Structure 1
């Protein structure tokens, strides 16, 4: 996937606004050798109303130490998904660069875990 991907079909705005997108703080980063593609297991704090959620993210292009303590943007209401025996509870958002590598979206530095993105 690259930035040259064709636009997707139009959707009703209600579909977008149904997604609960929030700022999170990466608390921990663990290796995930069972995943088919290089990935980490992350624990992310989405603030007091959502709490901590686990996710698997194909962001092995980032050193683990660079991810821990980083603010990220994630969707927290997509339900749970099993990935190689691991339960992922949220989806971190990023863009694909021209090489197809994920570049995580970053909120403003003054954002706090749990802030709503909209």
Structure 2
């Protein structure tokens, strides 16, 4: 069932791309293209390609929602670790030992030995 909806979804996506590319550019955003003589009206007449675009867009959104719902139902209650077949590692309750206060401080001059022996 999911594969059929996915194939229909892909066909709708390709059809929507094709229909949008077939439409004439109105060019209102960048001030170019379009044409159309006479007075500019506030609302353009709906063409057959425009109606087909709306139909394909609505069908595309419906298949997207359907695929999302199917994927959510399939994945509910399982984790990736369960799908791999392994078990989740158990959390250890041991607490690491804290360093003493002297380990946190930089070494003092008395603690450091000279790197080069002094010549007597």
Whether the TM-score (by the shorter chain) exceeds 0.5 is: no
**TM-score, scaled relative to structure 2:** 0.17
Structure with greater strand share of residues? 1
> Per chain length, whose mean CA-contact separation is higher, i.e. which structure has more relative contact order (CA < 8 Å, sep 6+)?
1
Q: Larger Cα Rg: Structure 1 or Structure 2?
A: 2
| Structure ranking higher in helix proportion | 2
